[in-house]
A and B are shown apart, each in its own frame.
Chain A
Amino acid sequence: MAEIKPRIRLDKKDVKKGDTVDVKTLVSHVMETGLRKDASGKPIPLMIINTFTCELNGKFVFGCDLESAVSANPYFEFKFKPTESGTLKFTWIDDEGTRIEMTETIKVT
């Protein structure tokens, strides 16, 4: 599969302690439901991103377990209050075991 470049937007990267950071993420993926059939009538197998996680310095912040009912090119928006500066790591994993990873740096003062 071609290199997938997720898009991540943080509403701020310089955060005052106690402030809320708003995160929006978008990744391209077919999210094949396993219910569709191809032109010859054969079912197209299930192939979805099943897990998404966001960690700050290795500590879990937010995540979700996806099912086939999540739309193609999964989009998530979530909010959290960072307590320390560091690296935010975003990971998407699909049914074939492909990991898509991306990092962002935030500063908490």
Chain B
Amino acid sequence: MLQRLSRREALTVGAGAFAAGVGLAAAPARALNDYADQIKNFTGGKAPVEGRVKLELPELAENGNTVPLSVAVDGPTDEDIHVEEILVVAPANPNARVIRFRFSSASVPEASTRIRLAETQDVIAVAKLSDGNFVQASRQIKVTIGGCGG
């Protein structure tokens, strides 16, 4: 019994330490890169509308070296309007740009890959539609061990 109690205590302390660790990781990222400029270049200065883009990432990545990423665009993708491109940027990586998917009229507007993330951050995906509009979504991901070498 005594042993069990002390084990529970140990667990509690452990959980506390873990929470503290997560809190630390979620603290405001240091320097952000030029992701805003990269988005501006991509959209030609047009402001993307929030929504319609579904960006899927795990909530927590223990290893920033291979983080599964899926992105899809919802909505009317009829013959008239299709998704031309999707740009993914990572504001707290050494380089903002992550990947740029290019689609055709035969494409289903979704794609998956695996990416590297340096630290905890909000990854952003911006989609370019063939009618000239842009839509975007962002998603926070916590990264325990960064994946950009150093």
Contact = CB atoms under 8 A, between A and B. Distances in A.
A91 interface: no
B95 A68 contact: yes
A79 B95 CA distance: 28
User: Chain A interface: which size bin?
Assistant: 20 to 34
Contacts of B148: 33, 35, 68-69
Nearest to B101: A64
Contacts of B100: 64-65
Given A36-B150, A71-B116, A64 B106 contact: no
Interface in B90-111: 90, 93-95, 97-104, 106-108, 110-111
Interface residues of B, number: 31
A79 B99 contact: no
Contacts, number: 100
Contacts of B98: 67, 69-70
B130 interface: no
B79 to A, nearest CB: 12
Most A-side CB within 10 Å, residue of B90, B93, B116, B147: B116
A77 B115 contact: no
B113 A69 contact: no
B51 to A, nearest CB: 22
Contacts of A75: 112-114
Contact of B106 (A68, A69, A81): A81
A80 B66 CA distance: 25
Interface of B: 65-67, 70, 90, 93-95, 97-104, 106-108, 110-117, 147-150
